[in-house]
Structure 1
């Protein structure tokens, strides 16, 4: 669902099935939100990258969905995007996967070669680098991740 105030997209609220196919619908909502505000392409691409990384992490690692028939019984992933004032973009993910706090996740050692590094963690590192603030909490058996970005420096 998309809420509009006048001609401006005020808030995006999505309920996404935990399947890779839902990424296209999510991506379109991000595109519409950014284009409506006339944000530049690099900012839009950064937001797509961050959202794709976290959405796919939830689907693949949280829900561990690897087959279309595995979706039965999985609750949707709730996503909200909105502006706080004129300069702060907020993106909120809520899922019912097992607890996982990406904020506490240790950054990979980028000084090591790809062969020497442990597998995983680069996506979370990327999210933390692209966003200004990341907050995690576990509420009523669900993960909540809120990502914030000051867009005045990015547009």
Structure 2
């Protein structure tokens, strides 16, 4: 699993580059502690995909849909879900079948519904360095 230690600006650039390479049907999951930068990274990926709208955390609404020149972008925040039984109510299955890019924060509750070919990102705070985050990833090039 590759790892990088990134400042906020470097994290944004990394996310934009990932978004620039993402294709329809891609599933990208983002895990990590509160405040680790998951939503910042989602915003950067969406910008790389060409989303012009403000991308905000859907913590209370669970899901947001954005349009990009390359098709629909789905952004899920599953933090408030208690079990996989709630997934049909939030439309995750429909989004996964839509052919759009699906970005999922707090994906742990949905593990059994996610494709194995997804890009998995995990962010963590850097001990002793509040200006950087450690990013671990699988399924994506640096």
- Length-normalised TM-score, structure 2: 0.27
Structure with the larger helix share: 1
Structure with the larger strand share: 2
- Length-normalised TM-score, structure 1: 0.26
**Highest Rg: 1 or 2?**
1
Q: Which has the higher contact order (CA 8 A, sep 6+)?
A: 2
